[in-house]
Amino acid sequence: MSAAALLCAGTLAVPGTALADDSGPGPEQITNGDFATGDAAPWWWTPNTSAAVSDGRLCVEVPAGTADAWDVIIGQNDVPILEGESYELSYTASSTVPLTVQTRVQEAVEPYTTVLATADPVGTEDTRVTRTFTASVDQPAASVQLQIGGGEPATSFCLDDVSLRGGAEPPVYVPDTGSPVRVNQVGYLPHGPKGGTVVTDADAPLTWTVKAQDGTTAATGSTVPEGEDPSSRQRVHTFGFDDLTTVGDGYTVEVDGEVSEPFSIRGDLYDGLRSDALAYFYHNRSGIEIDAELVGERYARPAGHIGVAPNKGDTDVPCRPGVCDYRLDVSGGWYDAGDHGKYVVNGGISVAQLMSTYERTLTADAAESAQLDDGALRVPERGNGVPDILDEARWEMDFLIRMQVPAGEPLAGMVHHKMHDAEWTGLPMKPHLDPQQRELHPPSTAATLNLAATAAQCARLYAPFDAAFADRCLRAAETAWDAAERHPHVLADPDDGVGGGTYDDNDVSDEFYWAAAELFTSTGKDTYRQAVLSSDLHGDVDAVFPAGGGISWGSTAGLGALTLSTVPNALTADQLAGVRSVVTTAADRYAAQSREQAYGLPYAPGGGDYVWGSNSQVLNNMVVLAVAHDLTGEAAYQDAVLRGADYLLGRNPLNQSYVTGYGERDSHNQHHRFWAHQNDPSLPNPAPGAVAGGPNFTAASSGDPVAEQKLSGCAPAMCYVDDIGSWSTNEITINWNAPLAFIASYLDDAGDGGQTASGRTCRVAYSSHPWNSGSTVTVRVENTGPSSIEPWSLTWLLPGEQRLSHTWSAEFEQHGRTVSARPLAWNRTLAPGAAVDFGFNTSASDASPDPGTFKLNGRACASGTAG
């Protein structure tokens, strides 16, 4: 113990330093004081420093020349302090340049009243500081702080074995779940289902009443008792008011004197969520300044990881020792999550789902392209003639391609599994301040197939916009596929988890299936057809959409099945029907789960095992339901998607909207290194449209310090806390926001109603006339709407492999299966009631089947004979 540690404590402490004899040291109030798991949460530090856990200690780089002690702080908040109780605070510290720590236990906010304030010298060798005090006031959420600024030279300060003993046993955590009446806090589509859940011990039905904003009764009825809901262990009733279709805001539901959060009924509910969920990706770009013009001052930040100190990467990155002897420029891409790692396996599913959000506008009648198009989103590339969603996806695609092992090196064509910091960094930290060495980790078959799949999808989608990039994607995809075939069992090491996540996966048959499906769809080549058809997974719904889970970064076969069933390809009609039935069978199961559960969600894992990122499993099941709805038009699928949205936005056991900025009780303290407002008020909360991982049944035993403290014994759907320290329940990541973006886009289209069959404003007649060595196709497109369309552009995907030869009366472009027809000078205007005729010959001697889906300036047309 140092001499200083014998000094008397704090400004407001009651005099006297001895602990009462009969009280003993008392319970521990500090969480994660020994940094044993390698993680720093829930510790925080001022953003002018960087910190990392190294050898079981938290080490902070203190900058030179700060003015005051409080300019550099390491702290832990939410420590309960009780008036009149005695405490002992102790820690071990060292500093490469000796300094004096201002040790504080105080309020976290103004007026920062202290219950302990001492000055404690710390030298270059480990110094144990021990302080005792008796609290003169209650501080239910005190902040323990080591203030270490104010010194001239820079220094490295390391901390270990922090303990604050005394006071009362920490209270048992009881979540604040607000009203027992649970609804979608954003609202309901006018023509969708409108269900809710109420927690109650009543055995008999209760009366529910929907009140409009002016207090009048809009609808009323009786609840349905459902008994105990196993996901929450709550006794619940359900209610529904589907028939209420009057558009409005500020509705509430009352049951038994309890009132729900307010909500709206309107068709444009999901308009903002579509662009916010997509903006998440720009916000989290690596290697580019985040521009205030696009995101506002609060979210703007300098470019991270562009090779400028203190960053050590990402433009020239070595491998981990012994892995390779070259260096790669792997700049760009998106940060994975709350951490700054970049992982090919997780980047793959994320970019695929963004590209599929776009691709759906080409293949699904109900999908609109306007809100994803050039100029529609907040990306710096707006105005370049390419749909903005593809600009965003390209930021990641370019990075994924950079991760490929160069020709001439061992394992050429394979793809590095991941790149990230050598040691875990802590919160908060802006990307450009990360001082850790960045390292490439060994290639893996899974990462290689992620590149094969996504680059194949890239090839067909970018062809109309940038042929050279599309070619580059195709070459990368085919090279990756060949390399994966040569090295089919190179698995990521499950123990390679220091400084970044492992994303290990010991079964890559699903990645092979996904990559084969994408390559086959883009190229039609027989090799890939064989790989699809001979896969054990093909046609097996339980393997493609595993029960309980579904699509995830480690289970990607479903991505391939969704592509095969929606994007025109060279499967036979029977084969296509087979793969579509796999999708609809899975969707039938999810729809049944949604109907059967009291909270309406299409996710029911066996044993209530809500996995890490369970909200993304809900979302991915919603994606399957949405595609099934696109394929069949069956309302039951769309209803289940909508009930899934209800769950995510508030109709759940915690009365929590899991999406930032949406709903009255939204998650806004997610685990993230620079959206770390909870740790540092000068930093922002997550930007609107960020979905939290959600309940994780194993959180309390995962090493997550907040979950350990608060969630032991939780019911599955309640294992969640909106705290920045809870990385296993409350992180945000690209692979969770990608299905959110897909679903928000789907829901926005569903709500607009402009794309319903009755709302169409154009009609296309497509007739094919075969002759001996080719066929002639004539197309008539008619404007059935009230306004002129000028210039017009009609796009469709060819159902077969035909090449267009002679064309007339329009300008044609063909990129693979994508065909667009644009007007000539004399038929630029398509007046209401008018039609234009044009046509082409194809090389195929059999009839060219009607593609079914035609988009006139991005909106679907009816099929049939024009009038």
Task: Catalogue the long-range contacts made by 317-320 (C-beta closer than 8 Å, 24 or more residues apart).
Answer: 317/419, 317/438, 317/439, 317/440, 318/439, 318/440, 319/416, 319/439, 319/440, 319/441, 319/442, 320/439, 320/440, 320/441, 320/442
**Cβ at position 417, least distance to ligand 9MR in Å:** 12
CA-nearest of 295, 265, 293 to 279 is: 295
User: Is there binding between residue 396 and ligand 9MR (CB under 6 A)?
Assistant: no
**Distance in angstroms (rounded) separating the CA atoms of residues 240 and 140:** 41
User: Is there binding between residue 424 and ligand 9MR (CB under 6 A)?
Assistant: no
**Cβ at position 696, least distance to ligand 9MR in Å:** 8
In this complex, which beta carbon is closest to ligand 9MR, that of residue 223 or of residue 614?
614
Binding segment toward ligand 9MR, per CB under 6 A, in 274-282, 335-343, 379-387, 776-784: 335-343
Residue nearest to ligand 9MR (CB): 501
From the candidates 229, 723, 731, 749, give the one annotated as an active-site residue: 731
The Cα angle at residue 106 between residues 105 and 111, in degrees rounded to 5: 160
526 is catalytic: no
In this complex, which beta carbon is closest to ligand 9MR, that of residue 136 or of residue 346?
346
**Distance in angstroms (rounded) separating the CA atoms of residues 626 and 630:** 6
User: Is there binding between residue 35 and ligand 9MR (CB under 6 A)?
Assistant: no
From the candidates 722, 723, 752, 782, give the one annotated as an active-site residue: 722
773 DSSP 8-state letter? T
From the candidates 441, 668, 671, 677, give the one annotated as an active-site residue: 671
User: Is there binding between residue 613 and ligand 9MR (CB under 6 A)?
Assistant: yes
365 is catalytic: no
CA-nearest of 301, 277, 298, 275 to 287 is: 301
User: Is there binding between residue 423 and ligand 9MR (CB under 6 A)?
Assistant: no
User: Is there binding between residue 368 and ligand 9MR (CB under 6 A)?
Assistant: no
3-class secondary structure, 99: strand
**Distance in angstroms (rounded) separating the CA atoms of residues 166 and 81:** 9
**Distance in angstroms (rounded) separating the CA atoms of residues 93 and 77:** 19
392 is catalytic: no
Instruction: Work out which of 612, 637, 766, 840 binds ligand 9MR, going by CB under 6 A.
Output: 612
In angstroms and rounded to an integer, the radius of gyration of the C-alpha atoms of the chain is 29
482 is catalytic: no
Binding residue count for ligand 9MR, defined by CB under 6 A: 11
Binding segment toward ligand 9MR, per CB under 6 A, in 274-282, 337-345, 537-545, 852-860: 337-345
CA of 450: how far to CAs of 414, 484, 511, 801, in Å? 10, 10, 7, 26
In this complex, which beta carbon is closest to ligand 9MR, that of residue 521 or of residue 733?
733
User: Is there binding between residue 548 and ligand 9MR (CB under 6 A)?
Assistant: no
The Cα angle at residue 280 between residues 276 and 285, in degrees rounded to 5: 145
User: Is there binding between residue 166 and ligand 9MR (CB under 6 A)?
Assistant: no
User: Is there binding between residue 30 and ligand 9MR (CB under 6 A)?
Assistant: no
**Cβ at position 398, least distance to ligand 9MR in Å:** 21
Residue 221 tokens, joined: 């009825």
Instruction: Work out which of 63, 150, 380, 501 binds ligand 9MR, going by CB under 6 A.
Output: 501
From the candidates 71, 314, 339, 782, give the one annotated as an active-site residue: 339
Site string for ligand 9MR, 724-753 (x = CB under 6 A): -------x-x--------------------
User: Is there binding between residue 337 and ligand 9MR (CB under 6 A)?
Assistant: yes
Residue 119 tokens, joined: 């000055």
In this complex, which beta carbon is closest to ligand 9MR, that of residue 166 or of residue 347?
347
CB of 291 closer than 8 Å to CB of 380: yes
3-class secondary structure, 376: coil
User: Is there binding between residue 37 and ligand 9MR (CB under 6 A)?
Assistant: no
**Distance in angstroms (rounded) separating the CA atoms of residues 420 and 342:** 6
**Cβ at position 509, least distance to ligand 9MR in Å:** 19
User: Is there binding between residue 679 and ligand 9MR (CB under 6 A)?
Assistant: no
- Give the β-pairing of 207-211 and 234-240: unpaired
For CA atoms 174, 696, 743, 503, the dihedral sign is positive
- 70 Cβ neighbours under 8 A, 6+ residues apart: 102, 145, 147, 149
**Cβ at position 726, least distance to ligand 9MR in Å:** 11
User: Is there binding between residue 502 and ligand 9MR (CB under 6 A)?
Assistant: yes
User: Is there binding between residue 505 and ligand 9MR (CB under 6 A)?
Assistant: no
**Distance in angstroms (rounded) separating the CA atoms of residues 290 and 293:** 9
**Distance in angstroms (rounded) separating the CA atoms of residues 177 and 84:** 31
User: Is there binding between residue 344 and ligand 9MR (CB under 6 A)?
Assistant: no
**Cβ at position 708, least distance to ligand 9MR in Å:** 16
In this complex, which beta carbon is closest to ligand 9MR, that of residue 170 or of residue 703?
703
3-state secondary structure 403-449: CECCCCCCCCCCEECEEEECCCECCCCCHHHCCCEEEECCEEHHHHH
**Distance in angstroms (rounded) separating the CA atoms of residues 613 and 694:** 6
Binding segment toward ligand 9MR, per CB under 6 A, in 67-75, 267-275, 334-342, 466-474: 334-342
CB of 755 closer than 8 Å to CB of 634: no
**Cβ at position 697, least distance to ligand 9MR in Å:** 12
User: Is there binding between residue 262 and ligand 9MR (CB under 6 A)?
Assistant: no
Could you give the residue numbers annotated as active site?
A: 339, 671, 722, 731
Contact set with ligand 9MR (CB under 6 A): 336-337, 339, 341, 501-503, 612-613, 731, 733
